[in-house]
Structure 1
Amino acid sequence: MTDASPQIGRRPYRPVIVGVIPGQSPRVVQEAASYARLHDAPLLVTHVDITRFVSYEDPDGYVHTAPINLDAVPSEALAAQMRDEVTRSLAGVDVPWTLELLVGDPAMALKDVAEKTDARLIVVGTRKRGIGESIREFFTGSVGARLAHRQPRPILVVPLGEPARDDEDLWPGA
């Protein structure tokens, strides 16, 4: 395991990138690790904090951020939580990985880091089903779909939970 750090200088070259959120199924990270092993590539685990935005960037590349909500979870606590979740998800998996915290729009942040690292693949999970998630997806769109239309790398979308039945309404009440 590589020490998790949001420092730009420590980004791996040609990684498999996986986007994660707190409490997400470990399956997403495990699938990404499988592809990283298959390609003999490092795994770059990324979390995009949508509660923060880039306020400015120094000439040396250091990014200063500010919270949208002043009551938001501090970045240090979020980094520790994400590091612990990824460590548990990858227990017994022999693949080098790094954690990087990004801010802003998830699709655009993942696209940017993929371009900067010349990523081999981007892995994301599906959203949970439900009316709240359906409304959110209606307004913001699917991260996987937005990535597929805005950059040239392959995208792997890992289903979370049980798949819907063929006759099940995916967006009830919408």
Structure 2
Amino acid sequence: MTENTSTPSDEAAQNAALQKAVIVGVQPHQDGRVVDEAVRYARLLGVPLVVAHVDVTRFVTYEDPDGYVHSAPIDINFDAGAAEFEAVQAAVAPALDASGITWTARQLVGDPALAIKQLAHKLDAQLIVIGTRKRGIGESIREFFTGSVAARLAHRQHRSILVVPLGDLVPDSQKEIWPEAAE
């Protein structure tokens, strides 16, 4: 793994080494199947893997001409996003280090779909891998307000997206995907 970048020139050099990578969006406590599928495709394509975590508690203030992104917190809890990023790195590192592929982790900020889209553009990514949300009233309300990251990515960029199903599958006989939301 390479370390998270800290300067614009470091990020530009790392971006050059990561061209054509597979990008996988990862959240804390996410099912490992998402990363496993991303590893599988990175290996098949013979490209590096970029683990992307999006800190939604920060927003982009401006971007330098060389692509370096400056951000500011939305919330006064400055450490929440950093702690989540560290948790993501700790969760994926054992499997990725054992996989034998080249990988790195990136902390992105802002809207998940737009942040992943921008990273995919910078790296000319071959594939974006993300997981579905787990079923439940809280997740359905969140998706209602923020929208599906997969759907928003599919309509805002041209790269292929692999959506890995997570959680319990909905039986074909069930009309409503989130029946508890209808109650």
Question: TM-score, length-normalised on structure 2?
Answer: 0.87
Partner of 1:121: 127
Matched pairs, number: 173
The match for 1:165 is 171
Specify the alignment match of 1:24 in structure 2. 30
Secondary structure at 2:84 match in 1: helix
**2:109 equivalent to 1:95:** no
Q: How far 1:138 sits from its partner (Å)?
A: 1.5
State yes or no: 1:48 paired with 2:46.
Answer: no
TM superposition shift of 1:72 = 4.6
- Structure 2 segments unaligned to the other structure (5+ residues): none
Write out per-residue CA displacement over residues 53-76 of structure 1, whole angstroms, 9 at most, x where no aligned residue.
112334454322211111253544
Distance of aligned partners of 1:93 and 1:147 in 2 relative to their CA distance in 1, 3 Å threshold = same
Go from structure 1 to structure 2 and tell me whether the alpha carbon gap of 1:73 and 1:170 turns closer, same or farther (over 3 Å shift): farther
The residue number in structure 1 matching 2:138 is: 132
Quote how far apart the aligned CAs of 1:109 are. 0.7
Helix, strand or coil for the counterpart of 2:53?
strand
Deviations along 1:51-108, one digit per CA (max 9) or x if unpaired, are 1111233445432221111125354433322211111343521111010000000011
CA contact (8 A) 1:53 1:67 kept: yes
Could you list the per-position Cα deviations for residues 112-159 of structure 1 after superposition, in whole angstroms to 9, with x for gaps in the alignment? 111111100000000010011111111221111111111111100001
Greater helix share, structure number: 2
Q: TM-score, normalised by structure 1?
A: 0.91
2:152 to 119, 142, 146: 146
The answer as to whether partners of 2:23 and 2:120 remain within 8 angstroms in 1 is: yes
- Give the whole-Å Cα distance in 2 for the aligned partners of 1:47 and 1:138: 21
**Aligned 8 A contact 2:89 2:105 in 1:** yes
* Alignment equivalent of 1:57, drawn from 52, 63, 70: 63
3-state DSSP of counterpart to 1:87: helix
AA aligned to 1:39 is L
Distance (whole Å) between structure 2 residues aligned to residue 145 and residue 89 of structure 1: 28
Equivalent in the alignment of 1:4: 3
Report if the CA contact (8 A) 1:26-1:89 is conserved: no
* Local SS of the residue matching 1:29: helix
Cα distance change of structure 1 residues 53 and 34 upon mapping to structure 2, 3 Å threshold: same
Mapped partners of 1:88, 1:163: distance in 2: 28
Q: Is the 8 A contact 1:14 1:120 kept in 2?
A: yes
- In structure 1, runs of 5+ residues without a counterpart are none
* Counterpart-to-counterpart distance in 2, 1:29 and 1:122: 11
Other structure's SS at 2:42 match: helix
